[in-house]
Amino acid sequence: MEENKDMVRTELDELGEFGLIDQLTQEFPLRNASSLKGVGDDAAVINHEGYRTLVSVDLLVEGIHFDMTYTPLKHLGYKAAVVNFSDIYAMNGTPTQIVVGLGVSNRYSVEALDELYAGIRLACENYHVDLVGGDTTSSQSGLVISITVIGMAKEEDVVYRSGAKPNDLLCVSGDLGGAYMGLLILEREKAEYLANPNMQPQLQGFDYVLERQLKPEARKDIVARFKELDIKPTSMIDISDGLASEVLHLCKESGVGCQLYEGKIPQDPSTVKIAKDFQIVPSVAALSGGEDYELLFTVDQKEYEKIQKMAEDVTVIGYMTADKGISELITPDNHVIPLKAQGWNHFDRSQK
């Protein structure tokens, strides 16, 4: 992260904790009727009036989840909020409020945090979500962002990971692997820069995968289409750690197996080309890359015709089986391979 030397820099201690909170949250109007009280009291007050309340939290740590060498602060704020919204959509719900906690070192100025919050504010505007509280503290290890998202859904609409049944269709929204390819491009350019600080990053032509990595979107449109078509998935999860990992989560929680067809995995042509340039099998980027934030879900086979009406946004990639604990990948030449999760593991030292 570099700041323009000509810009005014306000140190964090000039405002203090409460002054900083006021500065960062002053342009967040309340949009939802369920937000009775936002920033300003000891706690927010929320009333979902008969709906189930959904709550999820995500923690992002500098150097682990993001690299400030190539991550714009506004993009980081946007992404930090949106990936939380995605968790609520994965429960077939609607995100309504967030609470933001920051651990921040004195390396960051007030203006830098304003930029971060500009991204959070844009996400809140785009997804009609209210920021209703938060906290800040000092950090000895760079920037730490904790976002708690609150959402709602009717009791009968909530979808869990545990509802898949044998013969259910396994479906995914969008296309996969792009976010991982975007990360590889950014890491390649970072390595080039460290070797030669005078070089200019070569990012032309990689817009799609870079946006998938730096500014992902949550699939609220898919959840809206479910309601339009009267579809209720039997199970659902968002794809944060790679397709293989998420499929195995659904299988474990539902007590079923699955058959996943490698040739059916949807991928953008640019993702395929970049993967080949990196000498990576394109499907591996989808199976193990992560951070696509698409929705992986199962539906009863009787919903097939309805799912076909979503064909531009949804692909059937397999089906669930009664073989509990047996999840298999079927290659295009009909070889059967045990499905293994090789995506992100937060506690794997080799991935630090």
pLDDT at 41 over 70: no
**Same domain? 153 vs 174:** no
Alpha-carbon Rg for the chain, nearest whole angstrom, is: 21
| Structural domain total, the chain | 2
What was the pLDDT predicted at 44? Answer: 61
Q: Quick check: is 6 in a domain?
A: no
Average pLDDT of the residues in 40-61:
79
**Same domain? 215 vs 343:** yes
State the CATH number of the domain containing residue 290: 3.90.650.10
Average pLDDT of the residues in 203-222:
96
- Chain-centre distance of CA 305, in angstroms? 29
**Same domain? 226 vs 136:** no
Who has greater pLDDT, 341 or 160?
Answer: 160
**Same domain? 185 vs 304:** yes
| Residue that finishes a domain, picked among 157, 190, 214 | 157
| Residue that finishes a domain, picked among 157, 188, 211 | 157
**Same domain? 102 vs 177:** no
Q: Are 221 and 313 a contacting pair, CB within 8 Å?
A: yes
pLDDT tens track for 115-147: 999 999 999 999 999 999 888 888 887 899 999
**Same domain? 137 vs 185:** no
Within 196-254, residue ranges assigned H as helices are 207-214, 220-229, 243-254
- Give me 49's structure tokens: 């009036």
Average pLDDT of the residues in 155-179:
97
Angle at 327 between CA 322 and CA 332, to 5 degrees: 115
Angle at 230 between CA 264 and CA 290, to 5 degrees: 35
What was the pLDDT predicted at 243? Answer: 97
**Same domain? 187 vs 96:** no
Amino acid occupying residue 229: L
Q: Quick check: is 248 in a domain?
A: yes
Q: Quick check: is 291 in a domain?
A: yes
Q: Quick check: is 107 in a domain?
A: yes
Q: Quick check: is 84 in a domain?
A: yes
Tokens 């602060």 belong to 73
pLDDT at 344 over 50: no
Alpha-carbon gap, residue 334 to 210, rounded angstroms: 33
Residue 50 — pLDDT band, cuts 50, 70, 90? Answer: confident
**Same domain? 126 vs 197:** no
Average pLDDT of the residues in 17-34:
63
**Same domain? 124 vs 242:** no
Residue 148 — pLDDT band, cuts 50, 70, 90? Answer: very high
State the CATH number of the domain containing residue 38: 3.30.1330.10
**Same domain? 108 vs 82:** yes
Q: Quick check: is 4 in a domain?
A: no
**Same domain? 195 vs 331:** yes
Alpha-carbon gap, residue 167 to 322, rounded angstroms: 8
pLDDT tens track for 67-111: 999 999 999 999 999 999 999 999 999 999 999 999 999 889 989
- Give me 40's structure tokens: 């300003």
Q: Are 202 and 193 a contacting pair, CB within 8 Å?
A: no
- What domain range includes position 152? 12-157
Residue from 135, 147, 212 nearest 176 by CA = 212
**Same domain? 149 vs 193:** no
| Residue that finishes a domain, picked among 157, 184, 212 | 157
What was the pLDDT predicted at 20? Answer: 58
Q: Quick check: is 7 in a domain?
A: no
What was the pLDDT predicted at 351? Answer: 47
